[in-house]
């Protein structure tokens, strides 16, 4: 079935509508018999009410309150993604082309990658303060390693025959880097692009949640402090929609920048 077919879109919408209806039915104190909570109003207290969540989101956008928080989260995400991608690309290329350096730094790279990133958030808050850069730093640590390992693997996966033919044609090391290694590494980077931007987004939001004065994560934290479950769910919904928009933007960029790559099955037809 075509991924963009109207029938598939209809099915997806029906699943979403069914989920929202089930949420509304289970949190309505009078619609269904009480089967879990002793007080029929407790379900709405713990799980919120979809109509109130929707009204909170509308109020955010109508009043304009959400825009500055979305802007901060977007800035943190973009900066973390850009810095982490460039850093992972540079270090991955360097270690892939330098076996001695790769052997020296291998245990340290593995140790850093195995470290839980969340524990770095308080340290970054001390180093960079509670502003945007501590969230950017946390996002960079998430993006860097996924890009690094993809680039490292991509460079090492270059065909020896391609390298031998390029050297026979007189290609210098700089030309090999530009026309052989870099395109191979770039294709691997784009294969992980959706995961990278997702991790940058996660780093920004988690950093805001642990300590900030602006951002959607900050709004959720404030709502939790006052036991406002509807606002918490409103923040979660906004973050989800925001993540879907970012993923769509990445998909468009990937299609435009990777036009040179043959589609699946085209190679076999040649």
**Are both 5 and 127 inside the same structural domain?**
no
**Are both 36 and 155 inside the same structural domain?**
no
**Are both 150 and 121 inside the same structural domain?**
yes
**Are both 222 and 105 inside the same structural domain?**
yes
Domain CATH number, residue 228 = 1.10.3720.10
Query: pLDDT tens digits, residue range 3-61?
Result: 557 888 888 888 988 888 888 877 776 655 555 555 556 666 677 788 888 998 999 89
**Are both 31 and 60 inside the same structural domain?**
no
Q: Which residue did the predictor score with more confidence, 246 or 160? A: 246
Question: Per the domain annotation, does 268 fall within a domain?
Answer: no
Copy the structure tokens of residue 84: 């982490």
3-class DSSP string for the chain: CCCCCHHHHHHHHHHHHHHHHHHHHHHCCCCCCCCCCCCCCHHHHHHCCHHHHHHHHHHHHHHCHHHHHHHHHHHHHHHHHHHHHHHHHHHHHHHHHCHHHHHHHHHHHHHHHHCCHHHHHHHHHHHHCCCHHHHHHHHHHHHHHHHHHHHHHHHHCCCHHHHHHHHHCCCCHHHHHHHHHHHHHHHHHHHCHHHHHHHHHHHHHHHHHHCCCCCHHHHHHHHHHCCCHHHHHHHHHHHHHHHHHHHHHHHHHHHHHCCCCCCCCHHHHC
Whether the model clears a pTM of 0.95, i.e. scores above it, the answer is no
Distance (Å, rounded) from C-alpha 227 to C-alpha 264? 50
Question: Per the domain annotation, does 56 fall within a domain?
Answer: yes
Question: Per the domain annotation, does 64 fall within a domain?
Answer: yes
Q: What is the pLDDT of residue 2?
A: 47
Question: Per the domain annotation, does 269 fall within a domain?
Answer: no
Question: Per the domain annotation, does 71 fall within a domain?
Answer: yes
Range of the domain at 68: 48-259
Question: Per the domain annotation, does 237 fall within a domain?
Answer: yes
Residue 12's nearest CA partner among 21, 3, 22 is 3
Distance (Å, rounded) from C-alpha 244 to C-alpha 192? 16
**Are both 89 and 190 inside the same structural domain?**
yes
Query: pLDDT tens digits, residue range 58-97?
Result: 998 988 888 998 889 989 988 998 999 889 888 988 888 8
Question: Per the domain annotation, does 168 fall within a domain?
Answer: yes
Average of per-residue pLDDT values in the chain: 79
Q: What is the pLDDT of residue 140?
A: 92
Least confident span in 104-108, 147-151, 253-257: 253-257
Is residue 270 very low, low, confident or very high in pLDDT (cuts 50, 70, 90)? Answer: very low
**Are both 175 and 233 inside the same structural domain?**
yes
**Are both 25 and 55 inside the same structural domain?**
no
How many domains does the chain fold into?
Answer: 2
């Amino acid at each position: 079935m075509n991924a963009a077919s109207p029938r598939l879109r209809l099915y997806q919408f029906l699943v979403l509508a069914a989920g929202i209806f089930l949420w509304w039915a289970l949190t309505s104190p009078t619609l269904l018999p009480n089967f879990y909570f002793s007080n029929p109003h407790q379900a709405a207290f713990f799980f919120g009410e979809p109509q109130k969540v929707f009204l909170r989101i509308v109020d955010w956008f109508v009043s304009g309150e959400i825009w500055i928080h979305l802007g901060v989260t977007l800035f943190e995400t973009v900066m973390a993604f850009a810095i982490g991608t460039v850093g992972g690309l540079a270090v991955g290329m360097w270690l892939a082309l330098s076996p001695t350096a790769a052997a020296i730094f291998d245990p340290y790279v593995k140790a850093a990658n195995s470290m839980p990133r969340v524990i770095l958030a308080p340290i970054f808050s001390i180093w960079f303060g509670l502003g945007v850069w501590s969230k950017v730093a946390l996002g960079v640590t998430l993006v860097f390693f996924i890009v690094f390992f993809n680039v490292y693997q991509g460079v090492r996966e270059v065909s020896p025959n391609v390298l031998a033919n390029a050297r026979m044609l007189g290609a210098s090391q700089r030309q090999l880097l530009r026309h052989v290694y870099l395109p191979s590494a770039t294709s691997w980077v784009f294969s992980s692009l959706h995961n990278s931007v997702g991790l940058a987004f996660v780093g920004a939001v988690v950093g805001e949640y642990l300590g900030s004065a602006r951002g959607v994560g900050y709004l959720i934290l404030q709502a939790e402090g006052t036991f406002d479950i509807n606002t918490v769910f409103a923040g979660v919904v906004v973050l989800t929609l925001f993540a879907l928009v970012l993923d769509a933007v990445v998909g468009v960029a990937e299609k435009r920048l990777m036009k040179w790559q043959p589609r699946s099955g085209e190679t076999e037809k040649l």
